[in-house]
Copies of this chain bind each other. A is one copy, B any other.
Amino acid sequence: MREHHLRPSPISATVDFEADGIQHGFLRLPYSRDDSAWGSVMIPISVVKNGKGPTALLTGGNHGDEYEGPIALFDLARKLDAADVEGRVIIVPAMNYPAFQAQTRTSPIDRGNMNRSFPGKPDGTVTQKIADYFQRVLLPLADIVLDFHSGGKTLDFLPFCAAHVLPDKAQEERAFEFVRAFGAPYSMKMLEIDTVGMYDTAAEEMGKIFVTTELGGGGSATARTASIAKRGVVNVLKHAGILEGEVETASTRWLDMPSDDCFAFAEDEGLVEFLVDLGEAVARDAVIARVYPIGRTGVEPVEVRARMNGLLVARHNPGLIKPGDCCAVLAVEV
């Protein structure tokens, strides 16, 4: 197996994954640089373990500008009582911690997009080293993986929990049961076209249950979206049998993204005016947004139109848009 040929991870954990009780510590990754010759990246981690039972690996900050996950996980880490747990909960509120500190999608150190860096490299960039540690150390410990995402600074989403359509239908079915348990207002069945480098794929290829979310965006979190995340993670732990008690049920609307026609891209630069808001229905060929050239007044805007009927589930967030930016995403209710 390929792992056998790799040098060991340079990351060391200050927590013991096999010890019962609650531990708060760090994943320490040596990182020599101009402002600290013998410095390190210190990624906060909590491990809560009690007896036998499944392991849930809970992650946020895969992209550094998405906040519902980190809020739910910093909150959970300080509240969880080892006595209430049956099994193990591993919490990493900010996987790409340098990006999270910098409030950016990618790492300020190497511009690494964590979710395109798997399986990582032990002798690669900082982001690749973190990915490698998850690939070879943390994922193998897990039974269930919940990875929180939101839209970040440049996208905004209807809040949904999601899992992937998978070749192994039993694995897929179990994942969707977790999506249902999570209890977001919307739930999404996702078919990834390009799975190269994703954390999702890394977990699924090991046979793990992998559940993810998109819970808002715009580089912020509201009380409402944070509470969806907080309730969802507890529901997942209950559904897994790690926490006792009933899943707190909530109604959800199931969505599907049937084809590439879901996506509407901008071909022009300018000031974007949306004509529909998230959650509203759009008919095929309707104008979703106008793009005004900003260099002159009195010029007609370019129109971005829907290529299918659907609900607006995601949109470009910044006030200006550039050619090639994804302007809008539609989905159909199922």
Contacts and interface: CB of A to CB of B under 8 A. Distances in A.
Interface of A: 7, 10, 22, 24, 26, 28-29, 31-42, 44-46, 63, 65-67, 70-71, 73-75, 77-78, 91, 93-94, 100-101, 103-106, 111, 113, 116, 123, 151-156, 194, 196-197, 218-224, 226, 265, 267-269, 271, 273-277, 280, 292, 294-301, 316-320, 322-326
A46 B103 CA distance: 32
B26 A267 contact: yes
Contact of A24 (B116, B219, B296): B296
Contacts of A103: 318-320
A324 B292 contact: no
A200 to B, nearest CB: 15
Contacts of A317: 218-220
Contacts of A35: 153-154, 318
B32 A273 contact: no
Q: Which 10 A-B pairs have the closest CB atoms?
A: A40-B324, A24-B298, A67-B319, A38-B326, A77-B297, A42-B324, A46-B297, A42-B323, A74-B292, A34-B104
Contacts of A268: 295
Given A39-B325, A74-B301, A75-B273, 5 more contacts: A24-B297, A34-B65, A70-B292, A100-B294, A219-B317
B296 A44 contact: yes
Contacts of A42: 267, 295, 323-324
A78 B297 contact: yes
A42 to B, nearest CB: 4
Nearest to A288: B223
Contacts of A74: 271, 292, 294, 297, 301
B318 A219 contact: yes
Contacts of A325: 36, 38-40
Contacts of A113: 32
A155 B75 CA distance: 24
Contacts of A318: 35, 103, 219-220
A171 to B, nearest CB: 24
B78 A298 contact: yes
28 contacts: A24-B297, A29-B324, A32-B105, A33-B111, A35-B153, A36-B316, A36-B322, A37-B154, A38-B155, A38-B326, A40-B325, A42-B323, A42-B324, A46-B298, A67-B319, A70-B319, A73-B297, A74-B292, A75-B292, A94-B294, A100-B294, A103-B320, A218-B220, A219-B319, A220-B317, A223-B273, A224-B277, A269-B295
Contacts of A116: 32
A37 B152 contact: yes
